Amino acid sequence: MAPYHSHGFIGQQIHSWVKATKRTHKPLFELAERINADCYQSLGSVTIDSGSLRQTLIACLFARCLELFQASYILVSHGMSPSGSVTLRALLEATFVLCATAKDDAALEAYVIDGEREKLRVARKLLADKDSTLSEDRLDVIRGIQNELDEKMKEQKIMKFSTEDFAIKAGLHSWYLTAYAKTSWAVHTTIRDMERHIVLDDEEKLKSITFIPTDEGTVDVLSTACTAMIISLGELLSLFGADTTVADMYGKELERVMTKTA
């Protein structure tokens, strides 16, 4: 633990860990970097119709996926796989939404209206707060927003989608039940997750509390993140009528890398 005891993951010593990790899993990290580069190139090459809500939204969701993919890459390369699982979960959610809204009108409408639902939820909470410090004028504005949104919700009557609903519409429900479900422990801070910080002595008594870089979970997190990005890339290219060969190629290459890793 010595190199990390004073600055942890943001100290200078972590750079040696990053280099060693990338050497150990060289084929996977290099593949991730190539996927990342092609995703940038693909997003920059599509021509978005400004009048198309779907095209605009999918391009934005793809950018969101790419950012979360990079976050997962950075975290696992620094030995922070538990944190990488948190960003992976967000990446999977974004992937479900991207794929669902790209191909299904009901999912697209539900996703857009969810923003309005969130505004309505916040407005109701603010108005229900008896200890609110907001002025009466400000509260009147919020009441107006609430009334407007209430009417809009009544008129539209669009079904609220859960993450699972988006996964189903995306054709990725089996992934929701497996890869996505596995990330739940990372987000909700379970007792099992806390056990990894405990160091016991020879008599099974508490010796210290620690957290240091770990290689455990690196391959699982990064390979799943690569899969999500490949799927999202294929969906982006398909929506804009571009050749999806590059996404298919990366899918096969990832399979080969994982076969050699196993």
Number of H helices, E strands in the chain: 13, 2
At residue 209, φ and ψ (nearest 5 deg) are -110, 130
Q: If pLDDT is split at 50, 70 and 90, which confidence band does 65 have? A: very high
Q: Residue 99: what residue type?
A: C
Dihedral, CA atoms, 46, 52, 53, 55, nearest 10 degrees?
A: -20
pLDDT tens digits for 68-77? 999 999 999 9
**Please, what is the average pLDDT of the chain?**
87
Mean pLDDT of 121-138: 71
Statement: residue 2 has pLDDT above 60? no
Mean pLDDT of 149-177: 84
pLDDT tens digits for 204-234? 777 777 777 888 899 999 999 999 999 999 9
> For residue 93, what are the contacts with CB-CB under 8 A and spacing of at least 6?
163, 166, 180
The pTM assigned to this predicted structure is 0.84
Distances (CA, A) of 203 to 46, 196, 206: 62, 18, 9
